Amino acid sequence: MSALSGVGVGRGIAAAKVLKMPEPLAPPGDEPLAADADAELGRVRAALAEVADELTARAVAAGGDAQQVLEAAALMAQDPAILDDVQARLAAGTNAERATWDAYAGFRDLLAQMGGYMAERATDLDDVAQRVVARLRGVAAPGVPQSDQPFILVARDLAPADTATLDLEKTLALVTQDGGPTSHTAILARSKSLPAVVGVVGLLAAVADGQRAIVDAKAGTVVLDPDDASVAAAEAERASRTTAASAPITEGALADGTKVPLMANVGSPEDAPAAIALGAEGVGLFRTEFLFLGASSAPTVEAQTEAYTELLQGFAGKKVVARVLDAGADKPLAFLNDAHEENPALGLRGIRALRATEQILRDQLTALANAQRATGAELHVMAPMIADHEETAYFVALGRELGLTHVGAMAEVPSIAVLADQVLEAADFVSIGTNDLTQYTLAADRQLGSVAGFQDPWHPAVLRLIKLLGDAGAAAGKPVGVCGEAAADPALAVVLVGLGATSLSMSASALADVRAELLTVTLDEARARAARALTAKSAAEARQLASHPAG
């Protein structure tokens, strides 16, 4: 019996045999074209059509969010620009497999250079290319293995097209060698309530198909070849955790009765019913980008008012924290900022981009104020990427001018933590976005796999910045919430409360686990865990120190 360690996602546990994702196909060789170019083009055309049909059929069967992911992948297989590129390469004497591979690689590199959301689509292109080349070779495409029995899925990483159609009746847990706590796989695991451990160094070399394992997300471990007693204990704990997760929904609170409101992060009004059903006490992060992304011009005040009103009505009588448009960097919008920037993550994004095109910001704040008046909801509005008091004062003054009553700042830039006392002189509240705060604190692009190990909100540097914000909020008598992925980690949620967080917002599927974990500690115990984590010299040590009783 041996154990591997990584970053746990959630607090679930599972015991089963391992099934490994097949490794990607090897790149085609450079052999010159030996057949007729037109005939080979026909073969490629047929392969593209077959892959598109397969992905479309899977999309219809999957439904929901998975359907959208797979339909987008099907469109990538039908893109005429790809076929034109392949045709040109065939005419130049490249063999069909290599021509297809290189055509997709060219488009992939283009998307990867754009970063963020578009870079994620590059992963989808890789998946489509693999499927098409597999058709040309007459072999099965790499993908999630099929099984009649429940299994633990082990992979280098997972493509969206694979994760979108996971059979949750058979897939008990996910383990990946790559990725971090904010990776696609981690986010999927949280959304599906699947136990997962990501970023397991040496995983693929250490694990074999059919090997028995225990995945413990809470501990962040993968135990290989466990004995029967360990498996029985894991299965009993799994049953216990399932029972706890299905316990009656109550307000978020600690064991001593200290209230900690548990809110949901939502991306559109359609997300509201599911969040409420899972016990969300409000919305801690309403991402308003859904109205802007993909649009050729900014939506009208009327269109925005309608959408915001719909969401606020779904949370009548509850607190809703809306973030104004967060664009730039990984979410470029031509009508907001069309200037080319070598390093857009450190450029005109967030509040900076909105100030540069203030009418878009004014229209959005006007629409939010209209929705507030129409519903009587407790609407709080914040701006992204606030760096200091001056930016805070500007945004708060503009919000007040346009009729908003609760105006605050999102803490994602380290400078806002250093100047937290000044910021809270102007802001009504602060909400901490741990994803970007971690990225900027540790200079680690959260979309870049090579530095995924740095993208960990348990890092003591990040925790110390959060404490500065929590302390400043307590001194000013103003709320400081957390709305990043960190809040969905039950163990870290306890530490965040100990650092001064007054509310936590997360993916709705994580609410039950966090609610259960908070009920195991008092405020004094949460503060003690936080204090121990602050003394750590690494993220891993912070986890360890926070997980054990003092002494």
Among residues 184, 380, 389, 406, the one annotated as catalytic is 184
483 has catalytic annotation: yes
Q: What is the H or E stretch that residue 323 is in? A: strand 319-323
Q: How many whole angstroms separate alpha carbon 349 and alpha carbon 346? A: 8
DSSP state of 328: B
165-198: per-residue pLDDT in tens?
688 889 999 999 987 776 667 777 877 778 999 8
| Pairing verdict, β 2-5 and 221-224 | antiparallel
Per-residue confidence (pLDDT) for residue 160, from 0 to 100: 64
Q: Domain limits of the chain?
A: 2-22+144-242, 37-137, 262-547
Per-residue confidence (pLDDT) for residue 279, from 0 to 100: 92
432-460: per-residue pLDDT in tens?
999 899 999 999 876 665 676 788 899 99
DSSP per-residue codes, 258-286: -B--EEEEESSGGGHHHHHHTT--EEEEE
Q: How many whole angstroms separate alpha carbon 20 and alpha carbon 23? A: 9
Q: For helices 490-498 and 539-547, what crossing angle results, to 10°?
A: 80
Residue for token digits 């969040």?
275
Question: What are the C-alpha distances in Å from 180 to residues 7, 43, 434, 512, 547?
Answer: 7, 39, 14, 22, 20
459 has catalytic annotation: no
Phi and psi at 323, nearest 5°, equal: -100, 125
Tokens of 125: 């292109």
Q: How many whole angstroms separate alpha carbon 271 and alpha carbon 264? A: 9
Tokens of 118: 């578009």
Q: How many whole angstroms separate alpha carbon 69 and alpha carbon 457? A: 28
2-22+144-242 CATH, one of 3.40.50.11890, 3.30.70.2200, 3.50.30.10, 3.40.50.720: 3.50.30.10
Q: For the chain, what is the total number of helices (H) and then of strands (E)? A: 22, 16
Question: What are the C-alpha distances in Å from 145 to residues 16, 18, 21, 225, 367?
Answer: 15, 11, 6, 21, 48
CA 170 from centre of chain: 23
Question: What are the C-alpha distances in Å from 512 to residues 50, 193, 242?
Answer: 42, 10, 10
Tokens of 209: 């198909």
Strands (E), 362-483: 378-383, 407-411, 430-432, 480-482
Q: How many whole angstroms separate alpha carbon 396 and alpha carbon 423? A: 11
Residue for token digits 């429940």?
150
- The tens-digit pLDDT sequence of the chain (551 residues) is 899 988 888 778 999 999 998 878 888 998 988 889 999 999 999 999 999 998 888 777 766 556 766 787 888 888 888 899 999 999 999 999 999 999 999 888 876 665 555 555 666 788 889 899 999 998 877 778 878 899 999 998 887 667 766 888 899 999 999 877 766 677 778 777 789 998 898 999 999 999 999 999 888 899 999 999 999 999 998 888 777 666 778 899 999 999 999 999 998 888 889 899 999 999 999 999 888 876 778 999 999 999 999 999 989 889 999 999 987 655 556 677 656 667 777 888 899 989 989 999 999 999 999 999 999 889 999 999 999 999 999 999 999 999 999 999 999 999 999 999 999 999 999 999 998 999 999 998 766 656 767 888 999 999 999 999 999 999 999 999 999 879 988 899 999 999 999 999 998 888 988 998 999 999 999 999 999 999 999 998 999 999 866 54
Phi and psi at 163, nearest 5°, equal: -65, -30
Residue for token digits 């503060």?
527
Q: How many whole angstroms separate alpha carbon 412 and alpha carbon 387? A: 8
Q: How many whole angstroms separate alpha carbon 454 and alpha carbon 445? A: 9
Contact between 542 and 459 under an 8 Å Cβ cutoff? The reply is yes
Contact between 404 and 365 under an 8 Å Cβ cutoff? The reply is yes
353 class by beta-carbon count within 10 Å (0-12 exposed, 13-18 middle, 19+ buried)? buried
Phi and psi at 370, nearest 5°, equal: -60, -45
DSSP per-residue codes, 483-521: -SGGGGSHHHHHHHHHTT-SEEEE-GGGHHHHHHHHTT-
251-280: per-residue pLDDT in tens?
999 999 999 999 999 988 888 898 999 999
Q: Is 37-137 CATH 1.10.274.10?
A: yes
Contact between 244 and 519 under an 8 Å Cβ cutoff? The reply is no
Q: For helices 358-375 and 301-314, what crossing angle results, to 10°?
A: 40
CATH number of 262-547: 3.20.20.60
Per-residue confidence (pLDDT) for residue 551, from 0 to 100: 46
7-57: per-residue pLDDT in tens?
888 778 999 999 998 878 888 998 988 889 999 999 999 999 999 998 888
| Pairing verdict, β 282-287 and 221-224 | unpaired
Question: What are the C-alpha distances in Å from 119 to residues 110, 375, 449?
Answer: 9, 38, 11
Among residues 389, 406, 459, 483, the one annotated as catalytic is 483
Q: What is the H or E stretch that residue 8 is in? A: strand 7-9
Per-residue confidence (pLDDT) for residue 448, from 0 to 100: 62
